[in-house]
Amino acid sequence: MQNHNVLYRKKGERTAPEVFLDPNTFSKDGTTRLAGVSFSKDGSRLGFQISKGGADWTEAIIINAADKKILEDTIRNIKFSGISWKGNDGFYFSTYEKPKGSQLSAKTQNHKLYYHQVGTPRSQDKLIFGDDKNTRRYVGGYLTEDERFLIVTAANSTTGNELYIQDLKNPPLN
């Protein structure tokens, strides 16, 4: 009789499972939910997203998976995005500029893809894709399994989707 599913983990076949992440403890009234979970490639770090009060805006909390210690400040104001890790050092995510006025009714229309280096402030995140001249409603960034290629998807609606592929071993010269 809980509001949210609980994530468990166990070490080896013969150990008992232990609670790893319990969203029921995120808020007393149960209105904060787990909005996404993404482990780094070797599983040593976890970025999990929470949503408060049913909002589309999420916060990403980065922890050391072994001891669940928080590694840095919470990354706030992420919208319509997951987290795609590049190794253990950082991750890609998408968001909009924070709207002026109500977050519930203000228009958000220029989605941008960023790279966040763990341990650095959000203000130092690198803009990877998106600008104010060529607005796109939805942008996503994902890495291939070998982390060589960054796949970027972009769209303004459910038709006319765009696909971009960047070779991270041979980035373009600017």
Q: How confident is the model at residue 104 (pLDDT cuts 50, 70, 90)?
A: low
Helix/strand/coil (H, E, C) string of the chain? CCCCCCEEECCCCCCCCEEEECHHHCCCCCCEEEEEEEECCCCCEEEEEEEECCCCEEEEEEEECCCCCECCCCEEEEECCCCEEECCCEEEEEECCCCCCCCCCCCCCCCEEEEEECCCCHHHCEEEECCCCCCCCEEEEEECCCCCEEEEEEECCCCCCEEEEEECCCCCCC
Query: How much is the pLDDT for 107?
Result: 65
Q: How confident is the model at residue 40 (pLDDT cuts 50, 70, 90)?
A: very high
Q: Are 151 and 163 in contact (CB under 8 A)?
A: yes
* Token pair 């013969």 in the structure block, residue: 14
Q: How confident is the model at residue 34 (pLDDT cuts 50, 70, 90)?
A: very high
Percent of the chain having pLDDT more than 70? 94
Nearest CA-CA partner of 31 in 23, 39, 41, 42: 23
Tell me: pLDDT of 101 over 90.
no
CA torsion sign for 158, 171, 142, 80 is negative
Domains in the chain, ordered, with CATH? 7-167 (2.130.10.120)
pTM above 0.85, yes or no: yes
Nearest CA-CA partner of 38 in 57, 10, 16, 58: 58
